[in-house]
Structure 1
């Protein structure tokens, strides 16, 4: 008896006429197009999420290496040579050094501080703009996908009502099934929108933290260049080791 019931359960589940596959088949080209758009949005969301996380983690790792020993070098050029080739921090240093050289070639008098500050600010903006790439897509998906799903639902309900009207049956079993099937598209729209919104907010917060670190580092580079190396941030690692070492008589 129990075996008969368990064998009949999968058959009853597969016989369900109201599901995603049935909704796509009965919804026609419009339902299939809406579903395809939602799939593309979802794939794009997760692709941007993972690629941006990789970029952000890379820059955060560069920041740790900069804090650990960048300012212990004798000069900015020597310190820059120790950084990775495509490092965001190396880009800021190299742009600052290039701006310092260019200032001596200017024929129109411009304050060195203003010239260096503008060059470093442009370098920061370039890095932040690259980090922000793709976030507009996440914001668009988060705001648009519920309406795309709702459009599929409206079309599905319209088709269901036309079918019900043509059959002349208005009982609850004839109405609930097709209408509930049409609501699948709205649910899919929300499933796509929620991860996009969460990913957008999370990546934005991490980008803000990275931008703050880059801004602080750029200000340190500006102080170093404007003072010809006399002003540089204290290296905490060296200070900690010096304080831990026993005093000599």
Structure 2
């Protein structure tokens, strides 16, 4: 539970960082653009710079707000633009949360697998081996399921299945449940990775449409009237890509990690099945 909460906070931090980065970049560009006229005025003839106190006051003046950044888009955008931005933010937080939590889960499962290989099959009995496993862990769940299936094989219908097949079926179900828990959330990552660029592109198209409509109504098509709204709209595409790339990379990374970890889980289940069947054969002698 603690790891999931910490993963949620980390996901919010990552998403906030990705959301603020376009604003920072555009603010730096605006500062650089405002610094150019100041340098030109400094290089002007001394006759034009009459009062000496004016440059000092201008140096300490508060910089003007960037009219082409994310903040301007939020302030002047309509409900559709803000809704697209909020949707991308939710998708980013969700993808980072799933990525962090699932990486932590596979890390714990790999640690359990390493410990099981070193200690479980060296115990004097299966009961001692099961007790040595971590409580509420995946390997403990598989081992208890296998032992219970081996010891309880009664019933009018289940007696038609031989004991080896019965244990195999129960172990496979337990392994499948572990695999489902490990892979939960990967579908969301795949959805985010495939749809967020198009959602961002939709926000861009909508923003450009609204900007061009406003410019057409006003009858002013100068570059300063076009650059601001169009630049704000293009930020949506950048945000959409910023949401999609981590989701796609995280999905591929988790798929590879899950294959490795689940291979160790299935190997343990097969070895445990062999041990249980060997004990049953010895008990019949």
Q: Name the TM tier (shorter chain).
A: 0.7 to 0.9
Q: Does structure 1 retain, via aligned residues, the 8 Å contact 2:66–2:72?
A: no
What residue is the counterpart of 1:243 in the other structure? none
> How far apart are the structure 2 equivalents of 1:75 and 1:6?
83
- Where has structure 1 moved over 4 Å in runs of 4 or more? 1-6, 104-107
What residue is the counterpart of 1:175 in the other structure? 226
> How far apart are the structure 2 equivalents of 1:89 and 1:224?
15
C-alpha distance after superposition, 1:182-203 (max 9, x if no partner)? 1111111111111111111111
> How far apart are the structure 2 equivalents of 1:152 and 1:97?
56
1:28 aligns with 2:78: yes
Classify the secondary structure of the residue corresponding to 1:228: helix
1:201 aligns with 2:249: no
> How far apart are the structure 2 equivalents of 1:81 and 1:229?
20
Classify the secondary structure of the residue corresponding to 1:84: coil
Q: 2:91 aligns with which of 23, 28, 41?
A: 41
Q: Does structure 2 retain, via aligned residues, the 8 Å contact 1:75–1:229?
A: no
Compared with structure 1, are the counterparts of its residues 9 and 216 closer, same or farther at alpha carbon in structure 2 (3 Å cutoff)?
Answer: farther
> How far apart are the structure 2 equivalents of 1:212 and 1:133?
17
Classify the secondary structure of the residue corresponding to 2:136: coil
What residue is the counterpart of 1:93 in the other structure? 143
TM-score, structure 2 normalization: 0.74
What residue is the counterpart of 2:128 in the other structure? 78
> How far apart are the structure 1 equivalents of 2:154 and 2:265?
26
What residue is the counterpart of 1:241 in the other structure? none
What residue is the counterpart of 2:164 in the other structure? 113
Equivalent runs, 1:154-173 vs 2, <5 Å: 154-173=205-224
Classify the secondary structure of the residue corresponding to 1:183: helix
Q: 2:240 aligns with which of 189, 207, 212?
A: 189
* Alpha-carbon distance, 1:95 to partner: 0.6
> How far apart are the structure 1 equivalents of 2:211 and 2:114?
59
Report the more deviating stretch, 119-128 or 44-53. 44-53
TM-score, structure 1 normalization: 0.84
> How far apart are the structure 2 equivalents of 1:35 and 1:4?
40
* Alpha-carbon distance, 1:173 to partner: 3.6
Structure 1: where are the runs of 5+ without partners?
232-249
What residue is the counterpart of 1:143 in the other structure? 194
Q: Does structure 2 retain, via aligned residues, the 8 Å contact 1:41–1:192?
A: yes
